[in-house]
Chain A
Amino acid sequence: MRRLFGVLLAAVVLFAVVSSGCISPGGGEKVTVTFLSTQLNPPEERAFVQDELLKGFTDETGIEVNFVPISYTDMVTRLEGEMQTGKVTIDLIGDLHGGMDYMASKGWLEDLGGMPKLEGRTFINTFERYAHIRGQKVYIPWMSATYVMVVNKEAFKYLPEGLTEEDVMKGTDKWTYDALLQWAKNLKEAKGQPELGFPAGPKGLFVRFLHGYIYPSYTGYQAKEFDSPEAVEMWNYLKELWPYVHPSSTTWDAMADPLLKGEVLIAWDHTARIKNAIETKPDQFVVVPVPRGPKGRGFIVVLAGLAIPKGAPHKDQAWKLIDYLTKPETQVKVLEKVGFFPTVEEASGKLPEGPLKILAKGVQAQASTQDALVVMIPNLGDKGGQFKEYYKQAFERIVLNNEDPATVTKEIKPDLIKLFEEVGVPVP
């Protein structure tokens, strides 16, 4: 009996010593920052984050990071639960602008205005402005992405009269949707087949072009003026343009392949989806701003930020991680590996010559056009798919099936607006 008691006692003492961390290997207390992210979730990106990006941080600071890739819905559910019970375990959140806006509106995020200054970097002005919501600094701009046009240099031989290569490269006033139409016409006449392409397949992002590029360029809004006369004019323009668009467009999900195969000479797509073409043949392609419409040059900026939830257990360490992730060197690494663009100005000076520079230059040219009409993807959560569906349907009915644009847009608009009302998001 006494022996058993002795063993038990020894076990309890041992347990207490180990669990108190007194004899943990590194000596000092190990901190693990929990980092939830809706970005960089695909397996190969995840591997890069865990094996390279965060390892660099741990080597530098000794702080471990538990990177948790998660969907937006799951993240919101978890954060809401933690906020309600008061037991916060999340230290850092990486999400898109829209998600940050929502979480901030719920009062879940720390105001980062009072945190120490991040040295040696200047955040791009537009991004910095978006990161301030309702008078609070809600997040630190982390990564950005956008959709641009890629031009095979061969196409410049067929520019319409009055439009120069320089106009297109810089995005001047002359680089309009009408000029694009004329250019596409010239190309078809010269080549015998349409040379302009869009990713309008089932998984393609063409719908972003509709609601984030051409709609705002013609109407000034994404959804608000869905059935306005300007919108009808826009649809008629698309109808006129479509014969000069490569017919396989409705089956393409990404434009890198068609560009590389020479099936098209001009294409519009997400930067990540054309990156491969530019990397493979950097001498052949240039990235240019999109054309402008009567109301300006509408384009989408996808902006991801980093935020700290209220009551985060390791706030200071999370800030250190933010500091690391927004350093120009780190941002360049992210661009090289996963194709997300930096949010700090200094990063562009650190880019090596070559394909990435071509891409970054195009993106920057687009962002700094005078008539830029920056558009954010509306944050509709689960309804985002339905939102896209309405634009796709309008496109199929009007452009492909030749229905009357005024009738179709009038029919779809109430459903579209209802979507925003259901979610409680202002109509953009």
Chain B
Amino acid sequence: MERRSLVPYLLILPAFLYLLFFVGYPLVQALYLAFTQNGAFSLEVWRRTFSDYYFWSAFKYTILLAGVIVPTQVALAVVLALLMNRVFKGKDAALYALIIPLTISDVAAGLIWYSMLSPYGFINKLLMNLGVISQPLYFFGYEYRMREFFAIVIAELWRSTAIVFVIILAGLQMISKEYIEAAEVFGANYWTRLRRIVLPLLKPSIQSALIIRTLFAMQIFGIVWILAGRDIPVLAGEGYYQLTEIKDAGVASVYALVIAALSILLGALYIKFLRAEYLEVGE
């Protein structure tokens, strides 16, 4: 009898060990590095981080990038999903084309856009050949941080809207046709159907997509690093920089912990403000 009660624990043990080793241990290490100085408890590392010249601008840019990218991405994905939810010729090909960027890593995507936007890249050549500009447009460099920001937004939209799109399209396809037909019978036009039926039923999908994308946006790094270097500092980039260049593992840990804290906070906010409606819809 006693043996049997052990079974569930044994079943969960591998997963538990995995988490302990690959998540728990680094987390404890990070906390240790962030809160100690010469082996004793200290807030010195935090002071060093907050007084770091790049910290607040990294914080600002991370939030700013997420604030611009995530909503645009979700809106774009909803529109695309609605379009792709119809039956038309060449739909499969269009679907593939939309999803291709999903297979490309962020660094590769950054490099692709870097070479396209560089002074002698595709876009400048195109504009010059069309006679729109006579000198190449610079997208990169400290003086052009607005353009760098814009380039990052474009590249990131191109690369990761696909994941949001897939989630939303899946949600869309689960919506029963009966609701929509019923609405049609009662004379609801397209906009009313969209507002009153489709979007509310899509909320769980949008919520998942939002959570995933926002959390990933907190870790944005590869694309920024390639396109803007440190002209536009971001939290993950600064953490990496502190560890590899400045060799300050403590400050790097603080950056990691700040990203973790932000992610937890935002995740909690989403769940708190979006779940209630989700339950209503489900009932």
Contact = CB atoms under 8 A, between A and B. Distances in A.
Contact of A251 (B53, B141, B241, B245): B141
Contacts of B53: 393, 396-397
Interface stretch (B30-38, B87-95, B154-162, B223-231): B223-231
A262 B248 CA distance: 38
B248 A248 contact: no
B149 interface: no
Interface stretch (A20-28, A124-132, A323-331, A380-388): A380-388
A263 interface: yes
A160 interface: no
B138 A389 contact: no
A203 B136 CA distance: 25
B119 A251 contact: no
B143 A389 contact: no
Contact of A389 (B118, B140, B142, B245): B245
B120 A248 contact: no
A385 B141 contact: no
Contacts of A382: 247
B245 A400 contact: no
Contact of B119 (A263, A383, A396): A263
A350 to B, nearest CB: 38
Given A202-B230, A251-B141, A193 B245 contact: no
Interface in B201-226: 225
A202 B141 contact: no
A193 B247 contact: no
Of A192, A201, A383, A393, most buried by chain B (CB within 10 Å of CB) is: A201
Interface in B110-146: 118-120, 135-136, 138, 140-144
A203 B245 CA distance: 8
B246 interface: yes
A247 B140 CA distance: 7
B231 A250 contact: yes
Classify the interface of chain B: helix, strand, loop or mixed. loop
B237 to A, nearest CB: 8
Contacts of B141: 246-251
B229 A263 contact: no
Contact of A248 (B135, B140, B225): B140
Interface in A216-269: 246-251, 261-263
A381 B97 CA distance: 50
A202 B229 contact: yes
Given A385-B245, A385-B246, A250 B120 contact: no
A250 B227 CA distance: 11
Nearest to A246: B141
B247 A250 contact: no
Given A251-B229, A263-B119, A263-B120, A388 B142 contact: no
Contacts of A262: 120
A35 B246 CA distance: 28
A386 B229 contact: no
Contacts of A192: 135
A248 B138 contact: yes
A145 B39 CA distance: 39
Contacts of A250: 140-142, 229-231
A193 B142 contact: no
B142 A400 contact: yes
Interface string B177-201: 0000000000000000000000000
Contacts of A202: 225, 229-230, 241, 245
Of B135, B138, B142, B144, most buried by chain A (CB within 10 Å of CB) is: B142
B246 A386 contact: yes
B259 to A, nearest CB: 19
B228 A251 contact: yes
Contact of B142 (A247, A383, A386, A393): A247
Interface of B: 53, 118-120, 135-136, 138, 140-144, 225, 227-231, 241, 245-248
20 contacts: A193-B136, A201-B230, A202-B229, A247-B144, A248-B138, A250-B142, A250-B230, A263-B119, A263-B120, A382-B247, A383-B247, A385-B245, A385-B247, A385-B248, A386-B246, A386-B247, A386-B248, A388-B246, A397-B53, A400-B143
